[in-house]
Amino acid sequence: MKAAGEKTISLPPSIKEFFLEIDGISRFTGQFFKTALKPPYEFSEILKQSFIIGNKSLGLVTVTGFIMGLVLTIQSRPTLARFGAESWLPGMVAISIIREIGPVITALICAGKIGSGIGAELASMKVTEQVDAMEVSGMNPYKYLVVTRVMAAVLMIPLLVIYADAVGLFGSYIGVNILGDVGLRLYFSQAVGHLDFVDVFPAFIKTFFFGFAIGIIACYKGYTSNKGTEGVGLAANSAVVTASLCIFIIDMIAVQLASFFM
């Protein structure tokens, strides 16, 4: 019982919404693991969604990766030239791209491209009552719509990151040869020679978490949309913003964990 004259402390609406969002995403993630482990498995739909995700993102990832490597090389050359360390340029660019820039930039690109697409698609299906129709017909819409898209994102984001890293290194090779003359084999031997296991493995592992965050958040925003046609745009926009924020948080945690092994 409340004492006489006692005041109740109420949280601001924004903080309440934040904690409600965390609770909703946590429950949605728990439902994903429960549903994903139970047969039947929609392998054909996972392959279809993997192709869609990879095909839609390939062109943008190619352009972004190439420019990323080219610009980083051009910007870094003058600084290294002051100390007579231009020979370190391939190794420095390779470490920068593979450890941090490549995974994060590619994940952000995919959050914008894939996250908005999944969020808008599922929200529109929710508005047009296609999800309800699947439930009436005896299908499990969560397994067919959510699990398949999340699994496809988990599988494809690491592959897109590896591809972006390779394209970025090729862009760096072009940047090196703008003011110099370095052979392709020599450049890549210098770049790869500076890489260690702790540079490659943690960067590769965190891409799976990037893919899971993008997929689960985009599906959550779209699958739980309930504001009519207006909710389609809101779901797409919110999916991109939230997924991008989660990518930075995951990256921060991954960097801290990787620092223990260096």
DSSP string covering 177-239, please?
A: TTSS---HHHHHHHHHHT--HHHHHHHHHHHHHHHHHHHHHHHHHHHT--STTHHHHHHHHHH
The tokens describing 37, both together, are 């482990």
The tokens describing 222, both together, are 């779209």
Any domain includes 230: yes
- What gap in Å lies between CA 47 and CA 57, rounded to an integer? 15
pLDDT confidence of 37, banded at 50, 70, 90?
A: confident
Through-space distance between the first and last CA atoms of the chain, rounded to whole angstroms: 55
Total domain count for the chain? 1
Contact 102, 168 (CB under 8 A): yes
Q: What is the pLDDT of residue 7?
A: 57
Any domain includes 157: yes
The tokens describing 239, both together, are 């999916």
* Weakest-pLDDT range from 179-183, 233-237, 243-247: 179-183
Phi, psi of 140 (to 5 degrees): -100, 95
Residue with tokens 């370190």: 88
Any domain includes 10: no
Any domain includes 71: yes
Q: What's the gap between Cα 5 and its chain centre?
A: 51
Any domain includes 37: no
Any domain includes 48: no
Any domain includes 49: no
Any domain includes 20: no
Rg value, the chain, Cα = 22
The tokens describing 117, both together, are 């697409």
Q: What's the gap between Cα 29 and its chain centre?
A: 16
Cα dihedral 226, 229, 233, 236 in deg (nearest 10): 50
3-state helix/strand/coil string of 2-32? CCCCCCCCCCCHHHHHHHHHHHHHHHHHHHH
| Top-confidence residue, 51 or 194 | 51
Which residue range forms the structural domain that includes residue 248?
A: 58-259
pLDDT tens track for 178-226: 877 778 888 888 888 878 888 888 899 999 999 999 999 999 999 888 7
The most confident of the ranges 39-48, 115-124, 153-162, 227-236 is 153-162
